[in-house]
Amino acid sequence: MLSLTQLALTFLKIGALGFGGPFSLLAIMQKEVVERRHWLTPDEFTQSLGIGTMTPGPIFFAAAIFIGYRLRGIPGAVVAGLGVLLPSFILVVVIAALYVQVEQSAWIIAVTRGLAAGVVGVFLSVVLKTGRATAKDARGIALVLIAFAAAAFFKVDPLLLIVVAGLGGAWLLRPMPKIQTAEK
């Protein structure tokens, strides 16, 4: 059985390496828990993202808690949640104290622009990987494209979009009953 220490060290690592915000954290989380450690399947990881979008707060935090709970119950949820947040908390306090002194530096401005470009690349990677797990057939692809169009072109409120997509998924993506044929 997975130890709480292993879980804590893994989520501390995810939290410590997740530069660039929630999408880079999700990419690292997916690589660690799905690809490297095989604690979850790609579908189970996608479910954790779904849970993360249904709850308030950062998606990566809710996903970490859900994954920790799935693996080790309430103690696992606490360990994973704290593990993913603690490195960020400590680093933000240190950076905030230093940044106000150097924020106008041309080098700092260039570094932050470079980091932003890297984050966009990581985000696109997460989108492609989770998209493959979600859009497995024509119905899934249609739901993804409709949600994208609603967000990108019609500026639909994200909360409303998530709720409607969840309801649409319940209707469109539910398993279809098998059609039985009569034998002659």
Domain membership of residue 126 (yes or no) is no
Domain membership of residue 72 (yes or no) is yes
Domain membership of residue 21 (yes or no) is yes
Domain membership of residue 143 (yes or no) is no
List per-residue pLDDT tens for the chain, 184 residues long.
899 999 999 999 999 988 777 778 888 999 999 999 999 999 899 888 888 888 888 888 999 999 999 999 999 999 999 999 999 899 888 888 888 788 788 888 898 889 889 888 888 887 888 888 778 888 888 888 999 999 999 999 988 998 898 888 888 777 767 776 666 5
Domain membership of residue 121 (yes or no) is no
Domain membership of residue 63 (yes or no) is yes
Domain membership of residue 35 (yes or no) is yes
pTM of the model: 0.63
Question: Who contacts 17 (Cβ-Cβ below 8 Å, separation ≥6)?
Answer: 28
Q: Are 64 and 70 in contact (CB under 8 A)?
A: no
Domain membership of residue 48 (yes or no) is yes
Question: Who contacts 20 (Cβ-Cβ below 8 Å, separation ≥6)?
Answer: 115, 118, 119, 122
Domain count, the chain: 1
Q: CA-based diameter of the chain, in Å?
A: 84
- Domain with 47, as residue range(s), is 4-101
